[in-house]
Amino acid sequence: MIDGFGRRIEYLRISVTDRCDLRCRYCMAEKMTFLPRNEVLSLEEIAIIADRLIARGVHKIRLSGGEPLVRRDFMELARRIGRHLEGGGLNELTLTTNGTRLAEYAEALFDAGMRRINVSLDSLEPDRFAHITRGGDLGKVLGGIAAANAAGLRIKINMVALKGLNDHEFLPMLRWCADQGHDLTLIETMPLGDTGEDRTDRYMPLAEALSQIEAEHPLAPVLYRSGGPARYFAAEGMEHIRLGLITPLSDNFCAGCNRMRLTCEGKIFMCLGHEDHIDLKTAYRKGGVGAVDAALDRALIAKPLAHAFAIGPDGTKGVTRRHMSVTGG
């Protein structure tokens, strides 16, 4: 699949649910209204849409949410999509999770064909973690990470940089990841949905985080790419760990975008930072697989060149109405 700007689309992110068992301050409001269950794609519908995208050239699928592991039939879906790994149609099936249920599902994820996952973890301090997540239990997440590691899953920690909240923890998190054998990716906060807080005060360009790290561990760029938007670096004195940076605001990566996002209600978003979308659920329910292909053709043409995110002294610009949990990470 080639979009209107010549970019090859080969990476699909699927939000299997908009529900989550945490309420992270940069992602969700404290009191959320979730989609009625009858508006959410069935497991069969998600699998059929994934089949069509794989047939058309998608080589990597990431399952996300919300928190994907809260969906009751999640493992059945993961196993069904994972079958494409055996036939070579899919190169990789991965997961983004908050880790709260990893201890229960780690071995099943490995058996479904996953070999690496991303875990969102924004603080190693229990009280601060509870504050950022509005009540999360750090010990439960760390236990889930340990179980995933024991099951053979490679783990990358995703840490959102939050000025005034966790901006003193970049070095401790990097050192902890190095000790545990995990990669670390730092992410700039993005203006998605009304979370009930002003994210202008929390935005921190990752250049500031790098200056803290490089004072202790000089960084050198590495050629590794995971298929997503992160740029990776090696930290001096830390073997077997890569530091990734995702900078949608300070240094956007739109020119090389290779992604589309499918929401749990069946909408394809061509860009995280735009409201424009194509309704695959309606297309499939009215016209079957052929209508899905036609809708995907329209999506490719409509994919924009770049997002319009911006956070500055005048406030947040390019805000989308939907929360990150709706579109998927």
DSSP readout, 176-187? HHHHHT-EEEEE
Residue 317: its pLDDT value, please? 47
Distances (CA, A) of 264 to 36, 170, 174: 11, 33, 33
Q: Which residues are annotated as a binding site for S-adenosyl-L-methionine?
A: 26, 66, 120, 190
- Which residues are annotated as part of the binding site for [4Fe-4S] cluster? 20, 24, 27, 254, 257, 271
Q: What's the number of CA atoms in the CB half-sphere (13 Å) around residue 258?
A: 16
- pLDDT recorded at residue 329: 56
Binding positions are 13, 20, 24, 26-27, 62, 66, 96, 120, 156, 190, 254, 257, 259-261, 271
Residue 194 is which amino acid?
D
In angstroms, rounded to a whole number, what is the distance separating the alpha carbons of residues 273 and 269? 9
First to last CA, the chain: 21
Chain position carrying tokens 């490679």: 154
Burial of 107: CB neighbours in 10 Å, binned 0-12, 13-18, 19+? middle
| pLDDT the model gives residue 27 | 84
Q: Is residue 4 part of a domain?
A: no
Specify the pLDDT at position 62.
97
Instruction: Identify the pLDDT of residue 291.
Output: 96
- Residue 229 maps to a domain: yes
Residue 5 covered by a domain: no
Phi-psi region of 219 (alpha: psi -120 to 50; beta: other; left: phi over 0): beta
Distance (Å, whole) CA 310 – CA 101: 34
Q: How far is CA 52 from CA 89, 264, 293, in A?
A: 11, 16, 7
67 token code pair: 């928190």
Residue numbers of the domain that contains 204: 11-327
Q: Is residue 2 part of a domain?
A: no
In this structure, is residue 239 part of a structural domain? yes
pLDDT at 316: 47
Residue type at 102 in one-letter notation: L
DSSP for 257-291, written as a single string: --EEEE-TTSEEES-TT---EEEHHHHHHHHHHHH
- How many whole angstroms separate alpha carbon 168 and alpha carbon 177? 16
**How far, CA to CA in Å, does 122 sit from each of 158, 174, 233, 298?**
7, 12, 20, 37
Could you identify the residue written with the tokens 């979009």? 3
CA 112, CA 68: separation in Å to the nearest integer?
15
pLDDT value of residue 315: 46
Question: Looking at the domain assignment, is residue 241 inside a domain?
Answer: yes
**Who's near 235: CB < 8 A, 6+ residues apart?**
174, 178, 213, 217, 218, 219, 241, 243
Binding-site residues for GTP, please? 13, 62, 96, 156, 259-261
The CATH number for 134's domain is: 3.20.20.70
pLDDT for 216: 94
The contacts of residue 31 (CB under 8 Å, 6+ apart) are none
Q: Average pLDDT by consecutive 10-residue portion of the chain (329 residues)?
A: 88 94 88 87 96 95 96 97 94 97 98 98 98 97 98 97 94 96 92 60 86 94 81 91 84 73 91 78 95 93 68 50 55
DSSP, collapsed to helix, strand or coil, labels residue 156 as strand
Q: How many domains does the chain have?
A: 1
